[in-house]
Amino acid sequence: MPYPFVGNMDLMGKLRSLELSTLVRPTLLLLLFYGARDAHCSLVYGNMTDGRSLLDFKEAITDDPGGALHDWNDGIHHCMWSGVSCSVRHPRRVTTLELGSLNLTGQITPSLGNLTFLRELDLTNNHFSGQLPSLNRLIKLESLAISENILQVNIQDATIALANCSELWLLDISSNMLVGSIPRNIGSFSNLRVLDLSQNNLTGIIPPTFSNITRLQVISLADNQLEGNIPGELGQLPYMMLVLLKGNKLSGRVPPELCNISSLRELDLGMNTLSGTLPADIGYTLPFLVWLSLGTNNLEGHIPDSLGNASALRHLDLSSNYFTGQIR
Ligand SMILES: *[C@@H]1O[C@H](CO)[C@@H](O)[C@H](O)[C@H]1NC(C)=O
Ligand SMILES: *[C@@H]1O[C@H](CO)[C@@H](O)[C@H](O)[C@H]1NC(C)=O
Ligand SMILES: *[C@@H]1O[C@H](CO)[C@@H](O)[C@H](O)[C@H]1NC(C)=O
Ligand SMILES: *[C@@H]1O[C@H](CO)[C@@H](O)[C@H](O)[C@H]1NC(C)=O
Ligand SMILES: *[C@@H]1O[C@H](CO)[C@@H](O)[C@H](O)[C@H]1NC(C)=O
Ligand SMILES: *[C@@H]1O[C@H](CO)[C@@H](O)[C@H](O)[C@H]1NC(C)=O
Ligand SMILES: *[C@@H]1O[C@H](CO)[C@@H](O)[C@H](O)[C@H]1NC(C)=O
Ligand SMILES: *[C@@H]1O[C@H](CO)[C@@H](O)[C@H](O)[C@H]1NC(C)=O
């Protein structure tokens, strides 16, 4: 099952291996199939608003070593430009901008905020720096993948820049230089399925308002500087499959509520300062658990016997804790 808009290779590998077909919305697949092929339907050069916005974006690219944008010029309709796809019903309107892994250097210009039909924006794995401009007119945006760049953005500003993007189901800003603490209103992105903010410099707590994102299936906040408890409210998310919170400064218990998410496939809480004992029935209540990583924490007590019943488990890391007793 193709899963093209997650830039983070770690996560992409995991998603592939789990065959998360339910993650990919049928509409998105259709859109991919239409792609550039249908763009030539439009031979009307009338409304070039989106073309102008794209040229404005190109002007801010200071280095394009592979010549990826060589065909972005006035002689060619913008719907035919590399990486650009347009709507079938609204032929001049750009719906997809796919410019991942092209070694582009530059800034993300505010003009992208004028591409009001945009559904997918993929700028993964380039050298984009600076801020995320306001994209809050992009009310159709479903997928924003800008991982592996050098954006220096405060997460609070990022959520303001995306304020009206209520259709977003994938938001991947991993591996950048995000700072600040995750605002409570993250819960207002109520359509999110996949949220990846890993490998940044986020501080503060994990807000309990994540429980509002009821369709969330993947959350990765790994490798940041987050502290405080893991909110038990995460346990209220019935479709959750991957909870990846390793490499932070999280403390307190492993919330028993997490063991209530029977759909959970992977739980990675390694390299934090979690303490206390594990919920005794963890192996009974998580029948699909494939990956459990709790290494390098301050956990104690007996290793729950119930883990012996987690028959799907393929990776178990309990190392560097204070567990006692026998493994049965
Ligand atoms: C081009 O399309 C945009 C958005 O649909 C519209 O606001 C603008 O008025 C159009 N411009 C022209 C010249 O038709
Ligand atoms: C990007 O740069 C890397 C390393 O210099 C190179 O291997 C790769 O081929 C480049 N990719 C493109 C699309 O230019
Ligand atoms: C966006 O479009 C409006 C008019 O539709 C224009 O006035 C404005 O300059 C554009 N902004 C950018 C950043 O291109
Ligand atoms: C987007 O949200 C802002 C407030 O953040 C609001 O003022 C604006 O009208 C909204 N724009 C659209 C197109 O919905
Ligand atoms: C979360 O949901 C509750 C109840 O639906 C609502 O009152 C609250 O405003 C939401 N919070 C956020 C941050 O979206
Ligand atoms: C995170 O912030 C700390 C302190 O400001 C800084 O030393 C470190 O280099 C930052 N790391 C990243 C990956 O930005
Ligand atoms: C788990 O879910 C059940 C039923 O939905 C509920 O009764 C129980 O209190 C929950 N346990 C925790 C620890 O949240
Ligand atoms: C755990 O596994 C054993 C042996 O397969 C089985 O007899 C027992 O019923 C299981 N317990 C639960 C609570 O699923």
Nearest atom of ligand 6 to the alpha carbon of 200: 13
Which mutation among 152, 181, 201, 203 tests ligand 6's pocket best, with the greatest number of atoms within 8 A of CB? 201
Separation of CA 273 and ligand 6 centre (Å): 20
Q: Do residues 217 and 193 touch, judged by C-beta distance below 8 A?
A: yes
Cβ(163) – ligand 4 distance below 6 Å: yes
Name which residue sits closest to atom 3 of ligand 7, judged by CA.
260
- Residue 102 CA: which ligand 2 atom is closest? 13
pLDDT tens per residue, range 234-258:
999 999 999 999 999 999 999 999 9
CB-based contacts of 40-46 (< 8 A; 24+ apart in sequence): 40/79, 40/80, 41/88, 41/91, 42/77, 42/79, 42/86, 42/91, 42/92, 43/77, 44/91, 44/92, 45/77, 46/92
Q: How many Å apart are CA 165 and CA 140, to the nearest integer?
A: 7
Give the bridge partners for 249, in sequence order.
227
Asked: is 31-276 a CATH 3.40.50.150 domain? The reply is no
Tens digit of pLDDT for each residue in 163-189?
999 999 999 999 999 999 999 999 999
Where along the chain do its domains lie?
A: 31-276
The arithmetic mean of pLDDT across residues 1-20, rounded, is 47
Closest atom, ligand 4, to C-alpha of 163: 5
What is the rounded distance in angstroms from the CA atom of residue 295 to the CA atom of residue 321?
7
Is residue 162 helix, strand or coil? Answer: coil
Question: What pLDDT does 142 receive?
Answer: 97
In the block, residue with structure tokens 């938001």: 171
Q: Which residue puts its alpha carbon closest to atom 5 of ligand 5?
A: 212
Closest-CA residue, ligand 2 atom 11, reads 102
Report whether 84 contacts 96 (CB < 8 A): yes
